[in-house]
Structure 1
Amino acid sequence: MIVVLSGEGQTDLGACSNAQGICNAEDFSPGPMCVLLDQLLVEPLGYSPRETTPGAFHFISEAALVERARMRKRNPRAFLAPGAKRERETGHFAANAWDLGVAAKELEVNGEIAIAVLFRDNDTTRSSAPTAWRIKWDSMLTGFQRAAFERGVPMLPNPKSEAWLMCAAKAQPFQHCAALEDLPGNDDAPNPIKDRLAAALGGRKTAQQLCDWLSEHPFEITGACEMPSFAAFYRQLQDAAHSAIQRRPG
């Protein structure tokens, strides 16, 4: 099985080291959300893709997805127009998921089965509408559906990935984590979530340091699922992994 990823940068799912924006194996430098993803795949798959199959992760940068969208829009019938049920400002979430789903399908050769994970921070502020996260989540699902790719997984932390990490880093790990989703995602807000995570970890950490820390502090699923955004991601990932297992030959 292969896992096709797209994120926002090194501090979430990771980045390419080949300056191409598309990579796997030794050219892919995983970020902390990739380490978390790998941990969550161990149960359904029975193994760690990161440890046993270095080339299992394929990464497509946000810029590379934008280029795929540009090429797609040369075909007028392939344009994803905003509609009454999808906010115009979240149309790019649907487009990103559409192009990532198509890319995942293209990698399903020689019997390979893929799942696709699209990471975006919700980045809400205190003035954001309560429905903001759901609109973005549904937009991603719409994009994967447009690609006719059934194993697409939105990874949409609320308000951002630091909240998920904070659930594991707080003084009482994985307890009473739901309130973390009520914090503003704006880094300019008083006592932002990034500063809270840094304080909990004894200082700001690099992406590699966060990866190493996560490797030593695996996620406790029940406690983490108190956060609705994590619970939604976890359920979608498990469904995608089980679908991939069912399609494996033999």
Structure 2
Amino acid sequence: MKILLSGEGPTDLGVCRNAQGRCDGAEFKRGPMTQLLIQLLEPLIHYSLDDYPDSFAYVSETALSAQTKATPARLQPARGKKKGAETSYFYSNATTLGRMAVDLAVDVGDSVLAVFFRDSDGTRSSHAGRWQDQWQSVCDGFKRSGFEHGVPMLPKPKSEAWLLCVAGVNPGGDCSALEELSGNDNAPHSAKSQLDAMLGQHHSAEELSDWLKEHPADVDHINTMPSFKAFHQALTSAVEKMHP
């Protein structure tokens, strides 16, 4: 199985070591969200992808957007006028990632799982359905591409909130309130600043990945966050379709 990832940078899914927008295998430096993904996949596929770096391929947000813009107009996904620019962005880029995944499956002669990561970055003033609009746009984009094994990974408000739950905020209890934190890193009590405080100091992306290896996520606990639960369910469903 090959996993095609698209994220925002080193502190989420990771980054290319070759300073390019696309890479795979040893050229891909895994971030904390990829480490979390590895943990979630292990009970589903019955082995750890930690031992198989060649399983990963990565395309950055910038490279994916450039590929979307370079797509011939006749293949550009159309979005209804009622849909805003933001949801069109999620839709069109998920469509492109899905098409890349279809091509990759042919190239490698194996099944491919695609994960589309973006922080939802909501604030208290964001409209109530903003995250759901983003989620549905990614799902619709994958569907438009004809790719069946695409998974949206949209932390609310951002990945640091998920990591706060893993770190033990409200241990054994409900972490859903963390989704109400500001997605603005400069805001008081932001998810990022609270994670730094929880861990005692600021951690680099590499340090967070190492920390996750030593502190595996309690899935039942983090599933109390609706954005994580939706991702986990979509991931499980996609893997089950690939390996019925």
Separation in 1, partners of 2:134, 2:93: 11
Separation in 2, partners of 1:191, 1:163: 11
Separation in 2, partners of 1:66, 1:48: 31
The Cα offsets for residues 200-224 of structure 1, whole Å up to 9 and x where unpaired, read as: 0011100010000000111111111
1:140 equivalent among 135, 138, 142 = 138
TM-score (norm 2): 0.96
Aligned length: 243
Matched letter for residue 76 of structure 1: A
2:221 corresponds to: 223
8 Å Cα contact 1:115-1:151 kept in structure 2: yes
Q: Are 1:4 and 2:4 counterparts? A: yes
Please say which of residues 182-191 and 209-218 is displaced more in the overlay. 182-191
* Residue 66 of structure 1: how far off its partner (Å): 1.5
Please say which of residues 156-165 and 82-91 is displaced more in the overlay. 82-91
8 Å Cα contact 1:167-1:175 kept in structure 2: no
1:170 corresponds to: 168
8 Å Cα contact 1:167-1:174 kept in structure 2: no
1:41 corresponds to: 41
1:183 corresponds to: 181
2:85 corresponds to: 88
Matched letter for residue 70 of structure 1: K
8 Å Cα contact 1:174-1:220 kept in structure 2: no
* Residue 85 of structure 1: how far off its partner (Å): 5.4
1:104 corresponds to: 101
Separation in 1, partners of 2:78, 2:215: 43
8 Å Cα contact 2:77-2:95 kept in structure 1: no
TM-score (norm 1): 0.93
1:54 corresponds to: 53
C-alpha change, 1:122 and 1:171, in structure 2 (3 Å) is closer
Partner SS, residue 116 of structure 1: strand
Gaps of 5+ in 2: none
1:235 equivalent among 228, 233, 236 = 233
The Cα offsets for residues 61-119 of structure 1, whole Å up to 9 and x where unpaired, read as: 111111211221xx222122331553332211111111111111111135300010000
The Cα offsets for residues 151-199 of structure 1, whole Å up to 9 and x where unpaired, read as: 1000000000000000011354352211101111112221111110000
2:66 corresponds to: 67
Aligned-residue Cα RMSD (Å) equals 1.3
Partner SS, residue 60 of structure 1: strand
Partner SS, residue 108 of structure 1: helix
Percent identity (aligned): 47
Partner SS, residue 194 of structure 1: helix
C-alpha change, 1:26 and 1:20, in structure 2 (3 Å) is same
Report matched runs for 1:155-166 at 5 Å.
155-166=153-164
